[in-house]
Amino acid sequence: MTTRNRGKEGSDNRLFGDLSMQSKMREAIKDLSYLLSRGFSEKSSLALVGNRYKLNNRQQRALQGMSEANDKLIKRAERCLLPNQLVEKEVMLDGFNVLILLESALSGAYLFKGLDGCYRDLSSVHGTYKKVQQTPEAIQLIADFLQENKVKKATWIFDKPVSNSGRLKITLREFADAHHLNWEIILDNNPDKMIVEKKQIAISSDAWILDHAAAWCNMVRHVVDAHIPQKNVVES
């Protein structure tokens, strides 16, 4: 059994836990979102705002995930479905995105609430996915959400090149079979594109997917708010 956790670094309490720092982050979000709404490039805008507020690379990554142009926020809101709208529908799960986010939340890592209402974190697979102590609970929470909302079929999509994605596929297949769940687990070289092209309901917090999917559901936000009371959320 693994004892590792997901997401939180030793400096995060200093970088994100201080109330004055959170206030500074909110001001930075306003500035970055204004620039994005005016059509300025994300890269140059992030550098400009990051320098103005003296944010380090980790803080700038959080800022990037919390900010967005106003026109994109409007379009995302128009296509966002509530959980009760998933009844008898098929959904496509952005596998690593949703699983790692929930692992992070369960680990006590900081979550960053974007202007679009999505939680995001600072974890990434870096080419290799490693199971953590919270992985089984995260899978169970997702399964419970899908069953409670009577989802007809759930298709998990994972990055094929990521090491251990094959093992994770086996884990999910065994879980689904044991609990009689209508799950399909797919490994693909371009999972984001596949999710969008299927024209089904996407479950993700990835900005590109949210901007291109026909419809989406903010599953992780609903699960975290309902089932993880001890969470570290930085508000936008």
Domain containing residue 150: CATH number: 3.40.50
In a domain, 181, yes or no: yes
| CA–CA separation, 158 and 164 (whole Å) | 10
Residue-level pLDDT, tens digit, the chain, 236 residues: 455 777 778 899 999 999 999 999 999 999 999 999 999 999 999 999 999 999 999 999 999 999 999 999 999 999 999 999 999 999 999 999 999 999 999 999 999 999 999 999 998 777 889 999 999 999 999 999 999 999 999 999 999 999 999 999 999 999 999 999 999 999 999 999 999 999 999 999 999 999 999 999 999 999 999 999 989 999 99
Assign 3-class secondary structure to 25-90.
Answer: HHHHHHHHHHHHHCCCCHHHHHHHHHHHCCCCHHHHHHHHHHCCCHHHHHHHHHCEECHHHCCCCE
Residue 63 sits in the same domain as residue 83: no
The pLDDT tens digits of the residues spanning 10-64 come to 899 999 999 999 999 999 999 999 999 999 999 999 999 999 999 999 999 999 9
Residue 113 sits in the same domain as residue 25: no
Residue 47 sits in the same domain as residue 88: no
Residue 188 sits in the same domain as residue 99: yes
| CA–CA separation, 7 and 99 (whole Å) | 12
Of 45, 67, 89, which marks where a domain is finished? 67
**What pTM, to 2 d.p., does this model score?**
0.93
Cα separations in angstroms, 165 against 75, 80, 175, 189: 32, 28, 15, 11
In a domain, 191, yes or no: yes
CA dihedral defined by 36, 37, 39, 40, rounded to 10 degrees? -30
Of 67, 87, 102, which marks where a domain is finished? 67
Residue 86 sits in the same domain as residue 161: yes
Contacts 24+ apart (CB under 8 A), 221-225: 221/117, 221/118, 221/119, 222/83, 222/145, 223/102, 223/141, 223/142, 223/145, 224/102, 224/105, 224/111, 224/119
Residue 139 sits in the same domain as residue 55: no
Owning domain of residue 27 = 12-67
pLDDT at site 112 = 97
In a domain, 3, yes or no: no
pLDDT at site 126 = 76
Size of the chain in residues? 236
In a domain, 4, yes or no: no
pLDDT at site 124 = 77
Residue 38 sits in the same domain as residue 83: no
| CA–CA separation, 44 and 68 (whole Å) | 14
Residue 84 sits in the same domain as residue 59: no
Indicate the SS3 state at residue 113: strand
In a domain, 72, yes or no: no
Between CA 70 and CA 77, with CA 72 as vertex, the angle to 5 degrees is: 95
In a domain, 73, yes or no: no
Residue 145 sits in the same domain as residue 47: no
Structure tokens at 82: 């509530």
In a domain, 6, yes or no: no
For strands 232-234 and 90-94, give the pairing.
unpaired
In a domain, 115, yes or no: yes
pLDDT at site 4 = 72
pLDDT at site 127 = 86
Residue 171 sits in the same domain as residue 61: no
- The total number of structural domains in the chain stands at 2
Residue 108 sits in the same domain as residue 48: no
Residue 212 sits in the same domain as residue 116: yes
